[in-house]
Amino acid sequence: MQLVVMLKIRSALATVLVSVLLFVLLFLPIVASVKAQTGDLQGFFSAKYGGISIEVEATKETDPGGNMKIVVTVNCKADVDISYLNISVYGFINGSTQILISSRTIIRSTPLQSNETLRREYTIVVPNNVWGITYGQLFLGYAIGDLSSPERNPGFPLTSVRNLYLKTLESRFGSLNRIYVQLSQAYMNLSQNYDELRMNYSQLQGNYSQLQGNVIDFDNTRRVAVILTVTTVFFVATTLYMIMRRPREYW
């Protein structure tokens, strides 16, 4: 009788321990983002929950209007029944206003066995007016045996969409900056030429003033010479006249 009671107690304890272990696995998930890169894909999300782990990879970088590849991998560590696994991808119009780019069902009402791996990939097109960091969100509902896990809705950053408008502005700015440098150099050259011309003009103006002074001196000298000449002629003429007009003396 005591042996039967002990066996029942041990069975009950084993059942309680299994239930507690499953509870811990379901309600204490370990989530970690990764940055591993595989070719043109990059790992953006990795999470471990009770009996299951999920990884999300996507194109590292793309352009507006370009393609974005998304890969979702599910690894099972126990027998699970996945009710649904959906993923939504969001972008930002002009880098500011959030919009839904894509919503996709990855798994629905699918039982998976322990050590089973399921991989799904698909490609979406990024709208032309979207740039910046995109954003992903998973929606997961599953159960292990009779224990249902609470819904998981983790969010994470995804592919970076290049801002082509900014690239164009940067290119134009570079061109304008090069033109500015050329104009600045040309201005410096013109300024040097202007300084040289101003110095030459000052020298020419000094020479002109000197020549003008010489001309005035020459003009004054010529006037004095004319006056002297006239005076001399007048004096000679007067002297001759006086000689000729003097009375003669008779002996």
What residues does each domain of the chain span?
Answer: 29-162, 163-251
**Calpha distance 222→149 (Å, rounded):** 125
Q: Residue 246's pLDDT band (boundaries 50, 70, 90)?
A: low
pLDDT score of 184 more than 70:
yes
Locus of tokens 């699918």: 110
Q: Residue 41's pLDDT band (boundaries 50, 70, 90)?
A: very high
pLDDT of residue 120: 95
Relative to beta strand 67-76, strand 61-62 is: unpaired
pLDDT of residue 30: 36
Percentage of the chain with pLDDT > 90?
43
pLDDT score of 198 more than 70:
yes
Q: Residue 239's pLDDT band (boundaries 50, 70, 90)?
A: confident
- Considering the entire predicted model, what is its pTM? 0.56
Relative to beta strand 155-161, strand 61-62 is: parallel
Q: Tell me the average pLDDT of the chain.
A: 80
Class of domain 29-162: mainly beta
pLDDT of residue 247: 62
pLDDT of residue 98: 93
pLDDT score of 36 more than 70:
no
- Give Cα separations from 211 to 187, 197, 208, 223 (angstroms): 35, 21, 5, 18
Contact in structure between 79 and 145 (CB atoms under 8 Å): yes
Q: Residue 31's pLDDT band (boundaries 50, 70, 90)?
A: very low
Model pLDDT for residues 120-137, shown as the tens digit of each residue: 999 999 999 999 999 999
Locus of tokens 């104009």: 183
Residue 54: which of 82, 27, 22, 21 has the closest Cα? 82
pLDDT score of 6 more than 60:
no
pLDDT of residue 38: 36
Structure tokens at 179: 């033109």
- Give Cα separations from 217 to 209, 211, 229 (angstroms): 12, 10, 18
pLDDT score of 48 more than 60:
yes
Q: Which amino acid is at 127?
A: P
**Calpha distance 64→163 (Å, rounded):** 8
**Calpha distance 80→65 (Å, rounded):** 38
**Calpha distance 246→225 (Å, rounded):** 32
**Calpha distance 48→55 (Å, rounded):** 9
